[in-house]
Amino acid sequence: MRRINLAGASEALFAQPLLLLGGAVIAAPIFRKLGLGTVLGYLAAGVIIGPVLHLIGGSGEILAVAELGVVLLLFIIGLELKPTRLWNMRRDIFGLGASQVVLTGLVLTGIVMASGILDWRGALVAGFGLALSSTAFALQLLEDYGDMNSRYGQRSFSILLFQDLAIVPLLAMVSVLGTSGGEAQQSPLIGVAVAIGAVFAMIMAGRYLLTPLFQVIARTGAREVMIAAALFVVLGAAFVMQLAGLSMAMGAFLAGVMLAESSYRHELEADIEPFRGLLLALFFIAVGLSMELHVIVDNLLLIAIAVPVLMVVKAAALYAICRLAGSPHRDALRISLLLPQGGEFGFVLFTTAASAGVLSSGQSSLLISIVTLSMALTPLSALIGQRLLARETSEREELEEDFEGAGSDVLMIGFSRFGQIAAQILLASGRDVTIIDDSADRVRQAATFGFRIYFGDGTRLDVLRAAGIEKAKIVAVCTHKKEITNKIVELIQSECPDMRIYARSYDRVHSIELRSRDVEYEVRETLESGLLFGRRTLEGLGVSEDEAYEIGEDIRRRDEERLKLQAQEGIQAGRDLMHNRPVKPEPLVKPKRPVQSVREEETVAGE
């Protein structure tokens, strides 16, 4: 009998992980394919496995474990933020973040009080609890979109970081509202003091203990010990912060920041990443599991009104605050559509408020349901923001277009690494070159090196005319994206059909495309450097310089023959020209002279 029970327990032990992993494996690719993102897929999997099919119960325990995914995510983000960079973000963290929490909290408190559902104490807790956004959802979406380091991504992160800090005074507020008496009045101050002390202790430990610890462990050469140490540091920091009344995520974030300048940063990130990804997926599934469908059904009308009101109010407040803080319309709109949801710390606040008697258990469940549904809608709202701004995907700073003095024999469009090198040759010959680029940073930096460079979009005809295309003898298109290059070439040929065009091509297919457009000259961006590198490598193996040069020229000639065949017969043509006429190299001997290293000199910031 005992063995049967053990077998049943073993089956239960494996059944839940299999269901969770299976749900993630099935849902994530489907929703990714539909363009809805993996986060919404994990949520849907959790709802189906739990509330719909009742295959798994007790989501609270799963959610508690899955929150480690958020903890590890904040640690990895901390590794990317050096203390100096974090200090530079202080205005956004304490200015923008504080404004968002206070303004949104007061507005939502007023709305809840006006509805008459809660008294003023409950409305205050509900308003500020709903003002918090989901760190896990927002950061995962930023990572999916590749926008974590964009301007709006950094501002979004600053707001979320302050919200994580705000949980301490909010929990203190709940304790004040739920109790009375002198002893209770002192409790919040003591809690804040303990939290500040814990943060200071964490900073000191990170500064003086963590790097020496990893140096000792690295000397052992045992990779599994390094992984264990990384997890120990992350979870230990999270645990200490939780004991101090702060969030576990905040502790992990501080640990990451303290190790951001460590030489072990990249290794730590690689060790933690697999755990982070898996546990974060589990977190989103657990949120879906925790949805109480009966509460939603019983309060369907109220929730149907409350969720959109919450998201609209938060989005409007975020947009207004970001605009006042100097964000352009595009960034403010993206932030407002990324952070309109309730957050996971709302779960903590509402549960604590119910324990303190500020909210009833039913009111707490209702607020948690509103937060959960707003989380579920977040990937859709963020997707709407991406679609609305699909035509404005670049994160460029705008400068005033001023073309005074423009007009030269050569008009160069695009001034990244390729253009910088080509321009040096033209300028060294005494030729005058007018350069336009749509990167404000490159324009400013190039100007310090004496280049005549103007800010402008080369795909606009008015910009080309202002830059003096009518005076140019040759237009050199040096942009690094083939779609942009093709657009510029087509524009020039339609408006200035006699203009001579020299173009940088991305690859063989692009070279064939440009030749079909009858550009006068094109060159693949890696062809010449690749041939030179190959020649120098042969010389390093003992082949004479003359023979290496001849081999390189033979490759160049056959490459040209292949291109002509491919333009007529398709990309598969001319394959026999790739490897014929092999040359047997001479035995490896010490070269008579040192081999020159070849590298591209960059005069200003590249791509």
Contacts with 10 (C-beta within 8 Å, 6 or more apart), sequence order: none
Q: What is the side-by-side order of every strand in the sheet holding 433-437?
A: 453-455, 433-437, 410-413, 474-477, 500-505, 521-524
Residue 453, phi then psi, degrees to nearest 5: -130, 140
Among the listed residues 431, 478, 432, the one whose alpha carbon sits nearest the alpha carbon of residue 458: 478
Query: Do 77 and 167 have their domain in common?
Result: yes
Residue 13: the pLDDT is 56
302 within some domain? yes
Are 106 and 314 in contact by the 8 Å Cβ rule? The answer is no
Which CATH number belongs to the domain containing residue 506 in this structure?
3.40.50.720
564 within some domain? yes
This model's pTM is above 0.85: no
Give residue-wise pLDDT tens across range 546-586.
Answer: 898 888 888 888 888 888 887 777 766 656 666 555 444 44
Query: Do 488 and 538 have their domain in common?
Result: no
Query: Do 556 and 536 have their domain in common?
Result: yes
475 within some domain? yes
What integer best gives the mean pLDDT of the chain?
77
Six-digit token string for 360: 């009833």
Give residue-wise pLDDT tens across range 468-497.
Answer: 888 888 999 998 888 888 889 988 988 888
pLDDT category, 517, cuts 50, 70, 90? confident
Give residue-wise pLDDT tens across range 127-156.
Answer: 999 999 988 778 878 877 767 767 788 888
* Mean pLDDT on 307-324: 92
Query: Do 330 and 449 have their domain in common?
Result: no
Distance CA 293, CA 299 (A): 10
Query: Do 513 and 533 have their domain in common?
Result: no
Residue 599: the pLDDT is 42
Residue 327: the pLDDT is 83
SS3 205: helix
Q: How many domains does the chain have?
A: 3
pLDDT category, 309, cuts 50, 70, 90? very high
pLDDT category, 234, cuts 50, 70, 90? confident
221 within some domain? yes
Which CATH number belongs to the domain containing residue 165 in this structure?
1.20.1530.20
Residue 179: the pLDDT is 56
* Residue with the two structure tokens 């989103």: 284
Residues of the domain holding 112: 2-176+187-385
Dihedral angle at the C-alpha atoms of 132, 135, 141, 142, nearest 10 degrees? Answer: 100
Distance CA 97, CA 141 (A): 19
Helix-helix angle 135-145:361-388, to 10 degrees:
20
Distance CA 512, CA 516 (A): 6
Query: Do 499 and 530 have their domain in common?
Result: no
Task: Tell me how far apart the 2 most distant CA atoms of the chain are, in Å.
Answer: 95
Six-digit token string for 425: 């040759």
393 within some domain? no
| N-term to C-term CA, the chain | 69
Domain boundary among the residues 524, 557, 583 is at 524
Give residue-wise pLDDT tens across range 77-112.
Answer: 777 666 776 777 788 888 888 999 999 999 999 999
Domain boundary among the residues 507, 524, 541 is at 524
Query: Do 376 and 486 have their domain in common?
Result: no
pLDDT category, 368, cuts 50, 70, 90? confident
353 within some domain? yes
Query: Do 541 and 507 have their domain in common?
Result: no
CA within 13 Å, CB half, 490 = 8
Query: Do 429 and 372 have their domain in common?
Result: no
Distance CA 96, CA 75 (A): 23
123 within some domain? yes
Residues in the chain: 607
390 within some domain? no
Query: Do 156 and 298 have their domain in common?
Result: yes
Domain boundary among the residues 328, 352, 385 is at 385
Q: Name which residue leads in pLDDT, 185 or 91.
A: 91
Residue 104: the pLDDT is 93
Of 27-31, 250-254, 503-507, 590-594, the poorest mean pLDDT is in: 590-594
Q: CA Rg, the chain, in Å? A: 30
* Mean pLDDT on 582-599: 46
Query: Do 138 and 7 have their domain in common?
Result: yes
Query: Do 478 and 517 have their domain in common?
Result: yes
